[in-house]
A and B are shown apart, each in its own frame.
Chain A
Amino acid sequence: MFRYVVMGIVLAMTLAGCANKPSKEAPIETRGAQEVANKTVAVTPIKGAPAEPVQPKVEPVQPKKTLGEAGQTRPLRANEMQSKPLDAQAAPESAKTEPTKSVVVAVRPKVRTFQFDYDSAALAATDHATLEAHGAFLKAQPKLDLLVQGHADERGSREYNLALGQRRAESVKQALGLLGISEARIEAVSLGSEKPVAEGHDEAVWKQNRRAVLIYKDE
């Protein structure tokens, strides 16, 4: 039913002395990893106790703002000041050159879209499995927040559609709340009928456009 994506994350630091220090910025925590592991794949926590079999190897990377306190060999440039905290997407180059090092696994449910009936914000029974998968992922990733975008088809009032899209987004937010996810982590917004995913003017198109979409904040 659910397809899980495996993402490799390379933890890289500028100084060897930091190798065993927990990184503030590591997006994956030990907690919750076991639940994920049960379902699919081996998980190596970065934070907390050292885990077998991976030995984090120190790889020099471009200095980042967030590692500044660990010691810099040259001043930060202006553009580096704007760089994001080191995370999965911040070290793609290292990942390419050292693919076998420090592989940490996170799983993200692939299904991101919920569809709705006309003028309705009710989730379908078949959405439950998808919601549970996202709930499990959010529990495994307590620092990762979620954006839910609600949409409507083009018919009728743009303003009413905006409110309807908001209600759809709130439906998803509340459903995740019932699964134990803090609603403070979930931002529900509406784009009304302004951002159709399909162009056209028939029921097949309208059906695709009546939707709520989940976007993780690190995406």
Chain B
Amino acid sequence: MNSVRRVLVSLFLMWMTGPVWSAMTIEIVGGAANRIVVAIGPFGQGASDQEDVARVLADDLSLSGQFRIVNESSLQVGDVLTAGFGRMRKNDVDAVVVGQVTTLPDKNVEVRFRLYDAVRARQMVGFSYVVPPRALRGVAHRIAEEVHLALLASPGAYGGRIAYVVKQGGRFALRVSDTDGHNAFSVFESPEPVISPAWSPDGSRIAYVSFEERRPIVYVQSLEDGRRWAVARFRGSNSAPAWSPDGKHLVVALTRDQSSQLYRVDVLGQGEPARLMRSSSIDTEPVYSPDGRFIFFTSDRGGSPQIYRFELSSGEVQRMSFDGSYNVSPALSKDGRWMAFVHRAEGAFRVAVMDLSTRQVQVLTETDYDQSPSFAPNDRIVLYATRVQGRGVLATVSLDGKIKQRLTQEGDLREPAWSH
């Protein structure tokens, strides 16, 4: 139901505003040193217009940078056990996926799959899903999650959604798509800039900053019915929305009292904003810790922009970043263990990650204009914006810095945010 409504809102917005945004291309620019080789057999199709589950699954797994996919066009359910795994092992296959798509009398579709360990010659997982045909892509992402978890003993990042801003032909669009770039639609389009999208904890709403009134104003928009409302429209600049873990409040940066300061506002924009701290410096880019105890933020109170954290219960402020003269844009992993941020060294702005328990910092990228990091739902990948050959692109990097993706489409991409 929601997705139908979303499509309608999207179509309405397209009709209202005209431009057709191109599809996103995702490529691996750096993969794991030793990729697991997975053979995938055809799942078959219930109807010709249905999604090819095996293909979506293969794309998912190979784009993760962790797997090399071998398409086994002749592989059928049941073949594996009878034929044995000898042939697979000859081709260095580590694991085998077989599956089947069957259309049921009620028009729903059943998808079955089994994952085999080709070395030990035994089944690792197997599931059956019954869904309406339009949900087949979602099932393929679910299967990718199961395969990833079984083979790597850690969660993947296949089922989520990302929000990002495209600038093309003098127009700005806040877009949402699946993690693989499919099912993209415009949430909001404007001839003026849009920045800082932030997902509500339940993924049903997005807060963002729009310059449509020639100054920055913070809006919240529902992805279910497209309605939106201003949550911060005060004198001066209103920006940098961050959701509280319960989704009832946002912390924003306002300049209503001159310098940029942090305030808590109601999600419906009602009542007076409550100021969190008093400083004469710039305080901005707030983000809640997942347990709700702290707000991490950027401040130049020490003379250069650095990351601090504010404890809500005590009001204490602690400096978190020390290395270098420019550390900004904090993002926190859901498990509260990692902080990603942008670190400047020798004129280059790069994504770095801090282990919050040891305070050790590792720079993850080699690009020079990184911005706006955010964590994947699995806490193992950071999504960010950067520039390649003068063009704005999105990129991901794994926390060990080894696996890298680049996401491009026509126009300039910026301001990505991964849903939780």
Interface positions of A (Cβ within 8 A of B): 119, 154-160, 162-164, 166-167, 170, 187-192, 194-195, 201
CA of A160 to CA of B286, assembled, Å: 11
CA of A166 to CA of B254, assembled, Å: 10
Are B196 and A190 closer than 8 Å at their CB atoms? no
Contact pick for A167, options B215, B259, B298, B342, CB 8 Å: B259
Q: A158-B371, A159-B239, A189-B236 are in contact. Are A166 and B259 (CB under 8 A)?
A: yes
Specify which of A160, A163, A164 lies most central, judged by the most chain B CB atoms within 10 Å of its CB.
A163
Are A159 and B255 closer than 8 Å at their CB atoms? no
Q: List residues 222-257 of chain B with CB under 8 A from any CB of chain A.
A: 235-237, 239-240, 253, 255
Instruction: Please name the 4 residue pairs, one residue from A and one from B, whose CB atoms are nearest each other, closest first.
Output: A163-B260, A194-B193, A157-B328, A163-B282
CA of A155 to CA of B328, assembled, Å: 12
CA of A195 to CA of B253, assembled, Å: 20
Are A190 and B193 closer than 8 Å at their CB atoms? no
Is B195 an interface residue when CB atoms closer than 8 A count as contact?
Answer: yes
A-B contact pairs, 22 of them (CB 8 A): A119-B305, A156-B342, A157-B329, A157-B342, A159-B195, A159-B196, A159-B253, A159-B284, A160-B329, A162-B195, A162-B237, A162-B240, A162-B284, A163-B259, A166-B255, A166-B259, A189-B236, A190-B215, A190-B236, A191-B215, A195-B193, A201-B387
Specify which of A119, A166, A167, A201 lies most central, judged by the most chain B CB atoms within 10 Å of its CB.
A166
Are B305 and A189 closer than 8 Å at their CB atoms? no
Interface positions of B (Cβ within 8 A of A): 193, 195-196, 211, 214-216, 235-237, 239-240, 253, 255, 258-260, 282, 284-285, 298, 304-305, 326, 328-329, 342, 344, 349, 369, 371-372, 387, 390, 415
Q: Which residue on chain A has the smallest CB distance to residue B329? A: A157
CA of A189 to CA of B387, assembled, Å: 27
Q: A164-B282, A191-B211 are in contact. Are A159 and B369 (CB under 8 A)?
A: no
CA of A188 to CA of B237, assembled, Å: 9
Q: Which residue on chain A has the smallest CB distance to residue B347? A: A155
Q: With both chains docked as a complex, state the minimum distance between the C-beta of A99 and any C-beta of chain B, in angstroms.
A: 34
Are B349 and A156 closer than 8 Å at their CB atoms? yes
How many residue-residue contacts, CB under 8 A, span A and B?
96
- 10 more contacts with CB within 8 A, not counting A154-B369, A157-B372, A159-B240, are A155-B349, A156-B326, A156-B344, A159-B253, A159-B285, A166-B255, A167-B259, A190-B255, A194-B193, A195-B193
Specify which of B196, B260, B305 lies most central, judged by the most chain A CB atoms within 10 Å of its CB.
B260
Q: Which residue on chain B has the smallest CB distance to residue A170? A: B258
Q: With both chains docked as a complex, state the minimum distance between the C-beta of B214 and any C-beta of chain A, in angstroms.
A: 7
Q: A163-B237, A163-B253, A166-B237 are in contact. Are A158 and B415 (CB under 8 A)?
A: yes
Contacts of B284 in A (CB 8 A): 159-160, 162-163
Contacts of B211 in A (CB 8 A): 191, 194
Contacts of B369 in A (CB 8 A): 154-155, 201
Specify which of A156, A191, A195 lies most central, judged by the most chain B CB atoms within 10 Å of its CB.
A156
Are B236 and A159 closer than 8 Å at their CB atoms? no
Contact pick for B328, options A154, A160, A167, A195, CB 8 Å: A160
CA of A158 to CA of B372, assembled, Å: 8
Q: With both chains docked as a complex, state the minimum distance between the C-beta of B212 and any C-beta of chain A, in angstroms.
A: 12
Contacts of A156 in B (CB 8 A): 305, 326, 328, 342, 344, 349, 371
Contacts of A119 in B (CB 8 A): 304-305, 326
Contact pick for B215, options A158, A170, A189, CB 8 Å: A189
Contact pick for B237, options A154, A155, A157, A190, CB 8 Å: A190
Contacts of B253 in A (CB 8 A): 159, 162-163
Contacts of B196 in A (CB 8 A): 158-159
Q: Which residue on chain B has the smallest CB distance to residue A173? A: B258
Q: With both chains docked as a complex, state the minimum distance between the C-beta of A24 and any C-beta of chain B, in angstroms.
A: 27
Q: Which residue on chain A has the smallest CB distance to residue B325? A: A119
Contacts of A191 in B (CB 8 A): 193, 211, 215-216
Contacts of A160 in B (CB 8 A): 282, 284-285, 298, 305, 328-329
CA of A191 to CA of B195, assembled, Å: 11
CA of A152 to CA of B292, assembled, Å: 32
CA of A158 to CA of B253, assembled, Å: 13
Q: Which residue on chain A has the smallest CB distance to residue B255? A: A166
Contact pick for B282, options A167, A188, A194, CB 8 Å: A167
Q: With both chains docked as a complex, state the minimum distance between the C-beta of A113 and any C-beta of chain B, in angstroms.
A: 18
Q: With both chains docked as a complex, state the minimum distance between the C-beta of B372 and any C-beta of chain A, in angstroms.
A: 7
CA of A174 to CA of B372, assembled, Å: 32
Contacts of A166 in B (CB 8 A): 236-237, 255, 259-260
Q: Which residue on chain A has the smallest CB distance to residue B369? A: A155
Contacts of B235 in A (CB 8 A): 187
Q: Which residue on chain A has the smallest CB distance to residue B297? A: A159
Contacts of A154 in B (CB 8 A): 369
Q: Which residue on chain A has the smallest CB distance to residue B387? A: A201
Q: Which residue on chain B has the smallest CB distance to residue A163? A: B260
Contacts of A167 in B (CB 8 A): 259-260, 282
Contact pick for B371, options A157, A162, A163, A164, CB 8 Å: A157
CA of A155 to CA of B387, assembled, Å: 11
Q: With both chains docked as a complex, state the minimum distance between the C-beta of A26 and any C-beta of chain B, in angstroms.
A: 27
CA of A190 to CA of B216, assembled, Å: 8
Q: With both chains docked as a complex, state the minimum distance between the C-beta of A107 and any C-beta of chain B, in angstroms.
A: 27
Q: Which residue on chain A has the smallest CB distance to residue B283? A: A163
Q: Which residue on chain A has the smallest CB distance to residue B390? A: A201
CA of A162 to CA of B215, assembled, Å: 10
Q: Which residue on chain B has the smallest CB distance to residue A187? A: B235
Q: Which residue on chain A has the smallest CB distance to residue B414? A: A158
CA of A201 to CA of B284, assembled, Å: 25
CA of A164 to CA of B416, assembled, Å: 22
Contact pick for A162, options B216, B305, B342, B372, CB 8 Å: B216
Contacts of B195 in A (CB 8 A): 158-159, 162, 192, 194
Contacts of A157 in B (CB 8 A): 285, 298, 305, 328-329, 342, 371-372
